[in-house]
Amino acid sequence: MAEQKRIVIVLFMLSLLFLSGDSRLRDQYRDDGRNSHFRVPNFIGLVAEHGRRAEWHNVTTEDGYILSIFRIVRNNNNYQLGPPIYLQHGLTGTADMFAMVKPERNIAFLLADAGYDVWLGNLRGNAYSRKHKTLSTKDPKFWNFSMDEYAIKDLPAMMDYVLNVTNRSSLSYIGISLGTTISTIFLSNRTDYNSKLNLVVHFAPVTVFKSKTLTRQILLMIADLLEGPDKSFEILPRNRFVHSFVKLVCTASPLMRELCLFLVETFMGRDREQFDIPWDLVLKFALYFPAGCSAKVLFHYFQFLRTGEFGYFDHHDDSINLQYYGKKRAPQYNLSNIVAPMVFFKALNDPLSTLEDDVALIKKLPPNTTLHYEIVNWKNFNHIDFILAKDVKKLVYDRLFEILSDINKFP
């Protein structure tokens, strides 16, 4: 009964979101890259708000996408650069997600302050990675990518770039949510990179979908509604609509505020005690998130959900699958290839990531893989607490720093 009520409320809120998304509001603010309505500071500007500096680098993938990658610059010029660490954002995110919260609880700034050389990637199609050698974002071919291309094309290009510029033979990788999905795909497919990642950190790991939680059932209902033959188009681009929605609808009354939080908590988990983000910062997040991806990426997740299997993107077309994989069905990832050392940080109140899922993943890894599994010592820790929580430094980052300094023999 309670579950049904939740489904009804969530579907009601989502339809409100989608319906008002069709209004003039959306057209007026839609960001097509030229629209002067959309002016917010970029990553460099966000970092500057905290009195820091960043560099902007551009990396071209083997299939022609030009990706932006940012590097935090340390203020003191007279220093020895520490080991490189790469941070990977989540679904429809950008590096901006790591530049919002204040330095005392900001993983990118904390690492840079400790002396690490911090790099932040941006996957193809997000607000910073919308250029291509030949394609324009108006071309459906530009959006013809799933998580496989993130993992097999974008990550190797960015890892190579960082290793080259820093003249190192390995780096540490920290991914959140989708950042963990694609690092797992990456290491299973581009096996030579297992020796180049000296540590792979999973915040809110999302890989195998073993358990059928309520949130997942809702997601599957949404998947069925959206299902269509053509999936090469952009979804959830950076736009002012989410910001306007939060401002107009979610702050309209205490009840509406509760409903908006309820909607978010259905997907992310409820942890009000750790959630002390002021309302103006929430509105700021809503300006930067979402920031665009291909519908195929979302459908790739839906495929994991439906099948319970962790495998390559299935084209649902025998001849295309045959051409791509030599089989009529897309194969599963070969996880027995993954030998890079890993550490999982697990939240117990995360509807998108369950213990059962991780057990299923770990069973498929080689038995001798070095793996730390850390359950965050806070019962209600949720999916987004890894970036936002009031005590995230004490609960997660302090432990991470110990592990990192062991691995990197640094400082």
Active-site positions read 177, 350, 383
Instruction: Find the binder of ligand NAG among 60, 137, 144, 211 (CB under 6 A).
Output: 144
Is residue 410 a contact residue for ligand NAG (CB under 6 A)?
Answer: no
Using CA atoms, how far residue 212 sits from 2, 299, 352, 380, in Å, is: 17, 17, 10, 20
Q: Shortest CA distance to 49 belongs to which of 4, 107, 101, 119?
A: 101
Among positions 37, 53, 133, 141, the unique one binding ligand NAG when judged by CB under 6 A: 141
Does the protein bind ligand NAG through residue 189 (CB under 6 A)? yes
Please select the residue that binds ligand NAG; options are 60, 211, 213, 232, rule is CB under 6 A: 232
Assess 35 for contact with ligand NAG (CB under 6 A).
no
Region of 196-204, 254-262, 348-356, 361-369 interacting with ligand NAG (CB under 6 A): 361-369
The CA-CA-CA angle for residues 34, 60, 119, to 5°, reads 90
Residue 60 touching ligand NAG (CB under 6 A): no
Does residue 160 touch ligand NAG according to CB under 6 A? yes
Spacing of C-alpha 181 from chain mean position = 9
List, in sequence order, every beta strand (DSSP E) within 184-321: 197-203, 234-235, 293-294
Kindly tell me which residue out of 58, 195, 217, 253 binds ligand NAG, with binding defined by CB under 6 A. 58
Q: Is 248 in the site for ligand NAG (CB under 6 A)?
A: no
Binding mask 11-30 for ligand NAG (x = CB under 6 A): --------------------
Helix (H, G, I), strand (E, B), or coil: what is residue 65? Answer: strand
**Can you tell me the distance from the alpha carbon of 77 to that of 25, in angstroms, rounded to the nearest whole number?**
46
Q: How far is the CB of 19 from ligand NAG (least distance, A)?
A: 28
Which residue, 75 or 164, has its beta carbon nearer to ligand NAG? 164
Separation CA 306–CA 308 (nearest Å): 6
Nearer to ligand NAG, 300 or 383 (CB): 300
Q: Does 62 bind ligand NAG (CB under 6 A)?
A: no
Between 11 and 41, CB nearer to ligand NAG: 41
CA distance 383 to 393: 15
Contacts of 14 (CB under 8 A, 6+ apart): 222, 263
Helical segments of 279-343, H only: 279-288, 295-307, 318-325
For residue 2, is it left (φ>0), alpha (ψ between -120 and 50) or beta?
alpha
List residues near ligand NAG by CB under 6 A.
56-58, 140-141, 144, 152, 160, 164, 167, 189, 191, 232, 312, 320, 334, 336-337, 339, 366, 368-370
